[in-house]
């Protein structure tokens, strides 16, 4: 019971973070629609806005560190992962966590359009 309560409090604290304040994880099915965010990985920066909590659909622009952002496109936040382990991939669905990689779906949810990013280094909410 204590573990469950701690998890709920952590989730609430994460969502209550002031704009620009770094957080360690985010669960997109608890984010407000329209929430804007920035996620930094080892090699790229993802700037997006949540459109659908259920699917993780976002409009997202992507840039390599120091470069201009691409035009915004549909990207699905699928979950957090450590990446393939012994021909299997464990994904924490509907979640992004610092220290893990992200699984993203570009343009749709088809398996052929899924990508695993490098490790997430920072997550911030905007506005």
Quick check: 75 and 105 in contact, CB under 8 A? yes
Average pLDDT over residues 51-55: 93
Average pLDDT over residues 90-107: 90
Quick check: 32 and 99 in contact, CB under 8 A? no
Q: Is the pLDDT confidence value at 16 over 80?
A: no
For residue 113, the model assigns a pLDDT of: 95
Q: Is the pLDDT confidence value at 13 over 50?
A: no
- CA 58/CA 75 separation, integer angstroms: 5
Mean residue pLDDT of the chain comes to 83
Q: Is the pLDDT confidence value at 33 over 70?
A: yes
- CA 69/CA 91 separation, integer angstroms: 27
Per mean pLDDT, which range of 7-11, 63-67, 112-116 is the poorest?
Answer: 7-11
């Amino acid at each position: 019971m204590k573990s469950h309560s701690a998890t709920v409090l952590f989730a609430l604290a994460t969502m209550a973070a002031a704009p620009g304040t770094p957080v360690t994880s985010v669960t997109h099915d608890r984010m407000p629609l329209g929430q804007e965010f920035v996620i930094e990985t080892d090699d790229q920066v993802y700037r997006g806005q949540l459109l659908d909590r259920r699917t993780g659909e976002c409009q997202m622009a992507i840039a390599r560190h120091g470069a201009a952002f691409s035009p915004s496109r549909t990207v699905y936040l699928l979950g957090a992962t450590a990446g393939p382990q012994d021909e299997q991939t464990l994904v924490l669905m509907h979640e992004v966590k610092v220290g893990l990689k992200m699984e993203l779906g570009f343009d749709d949810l088809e398996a052929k359009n899924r990508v695993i990013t490098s490790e997430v280094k920072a997550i911030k909410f905007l506005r």
